Copies of this chain bind each other. A is one copy, B any other.
Amino acid sequence: MSLFIKGGTIVTHEETFKADILCKDNKIIEIGDISVVPKDAQVIDATGKLIMPGGIDPHTHMQLPFMGTVAKDDFASGTIAALAGGTTSIIDFVIPNPQQSLLEAYHQWRDWAKKAHANYSFHVAITWWQDSVAEEMETLVKDHGVNSFKHFMAYKNAIMATDDILVASFTKCLELGAIPTVHAENGELVYHLQNKLVAEGFTGPEAHPLSRPSSVEGEAANRAISIANTLGAPIYLVHVSTEEAVDAIRYAKDHGQTVFGEVLAGHLTVDESVYQNPDWATAAAHVMSPPFRPKHHQDALWKGVQGGTLQTTATDHCAFCAEQKAMGKDNFAQIPNGTAGVEERMMVLWEKGVNQGKITANEFVALTSTNTAKIFNLYPNKGCVRVGADADLVIWNPAESKTLSAKTHHSNIEHSIFEGMTINGIPETTICNGKLAWHDNKLFAQSGDGKYIDRPTYAPF
């Protein structure tokens, strides 16, 4: 099965040049001025278009059981949305309950993911600790292609990892050549502030950001970084949303430490004022953690992106519908946390980043695909356009526009945090595993076409 993309301009994280591409099976087998093409090759004319590595979203939660319900987008609908937005791979999270076997949870998630249309892999969360957890981490690394473990520093009385767990788990990660990642918010402070606010009668979504001020994230970011530094481990911070956390990462990098930061398309472009929306459902639809922030944080995040402090972009896609959100009608702390975005991420970054002159097209590729591939050791199979790499590609049409809306998106929920944003330059065609997966608003990939991605340890950072 061959696919021939002719006449396009290839954009990688470091170069821009015109060339044809020939794919066979799931691989790129030739790049250049290609004259000989298999007769049966499917031909795509990319004249005037940009061919880039398929997006990799390193942070999604498909069909996550969370806060008493289950996220609306499962691995089928979620990966359809991904493909519609040019993203060919996601890294989702296995989140065992405290006391649950990591392997048991892992297999549960693998099973759920069988219906995926795009590729997927899993971070595994460390939500408790005893010797058996360390042993299962080792098994996951050695036998199941896991090279990253997630730690929630918030969510007290649930999945919060206290410092003793962080120390133990980071130490194990280092030993295994895996990378620890953290959701950085001080869980004690969040707990204190939630209780205080509710006690004072602040029960609506407008209290949500007050319960998680930026200092709460700054503290935890710095703590995770310092613990990693002390132990000699690398560290990756998911969904960095504050100036304080950007500053903490920068400080560490400037002192020679290996630290990575991820930023969400939402935090780059949506601000705190959404929680003031008089419509409860709209305000609640924006409830996620960390919350959207006052505008000066957006400036800090973009500066972090431009200066290399933040390397990856993600979405924390975790879709809850209005009915689910309503569970927190009487108490903002019970509104299921999460928003969608896996479809819009690359478009938002293109519009607000490339079109506004904040980043170059090469940096766009690095931020949406290559850097994630490098950090989680998928590179150069993924994250690049070169002979031998996986044929996961997005063909961008810079001449087309569209307006983002919940009416047209492919998530199962009825709200979009990007509602009404016009995008100039869109992902027209998505190729996944060497096959046309999405083209001209039509889905071609089948459920089950997505492949599990093994990630080896000891990434070369």
A residues whose Cβ falls under 8 Å from a Cβ of B:
14-16, 163-164, 166-168, 171, 186, 188-189, 192-193, 213, 215-216, 218-219, 222-223, 226-227, 229-230, 244, 247-248, 250-251, 253-256, 296, 299, 302-303, 306-309, 358, 360, 362, 374, 379-380, 387, 460-461
Contacts and interface: CB of A to CB of B under 8 A. Distances in A.
Given A216-B230, A222-B222, 9 more contacts: A15-B460, A163-B186, A167-B188, A186-B223, A219-B222, A219-B226, A222-B248, A223-B223, A253-B307
A380 B15 CA distance: 8
A295 B15 CA distance: 38
A167 B223 CA distance: 16
Given A251-B247, A307-B254, A223 B230 contact: no
A24 B238 CA distance: 47
B253 A308 contact: yes
Nearest to A255: B303
Nearest to A230: B215
- In terms of DSSP, what is the predominant structure of the interface of chain A? helix
Nearest to A224: B219
A253 B303 CA distance: 8
**Oligomer copy total:** 4
B307 A189 contact: no
Contacts of A247: 251
Contacts of A374: 14
Given A14-B379, A16-B460, A374-B14, A186 B226 contact: yes
A16 B374 CA distance: 12
A186 B227 contact: yes
A20 to B, nearest CB: 15
Nearest to A305: B256
A18 to B, nearest CB: 14
A50 to B, nearest CB: 14
A234 B33 CA distance: 34
Contacts of A193: 230
A266 B307 CA distance: 27
A28 to B, nearest CB: 13
A255 to B, nearest CB: 6
Nearest to A362: B460
Nearest to A246: B254
Contact of A360 (B223, B230, B380, B460): B460
Given A215-B229, A460-B16, A254 B223 contact: no
Interface centre among A15, A168, A226, A247 (most CB of B within 10 A): A226
B227 A219 contact: yes
B230 A226 contact: no
A248 B166 CA distance: 22
A414 to B, nearest CB: 35
A374 B387 CA distance: 21
A309 B254 contact: yes
A296 B360 CA distance: 26
A17 to B, nearest CB: 9
Interface centre among A193, A247, A254 (most CB of B within 10 A): A254
Contacts of A255: 303, 307
Contacts of A309: 254
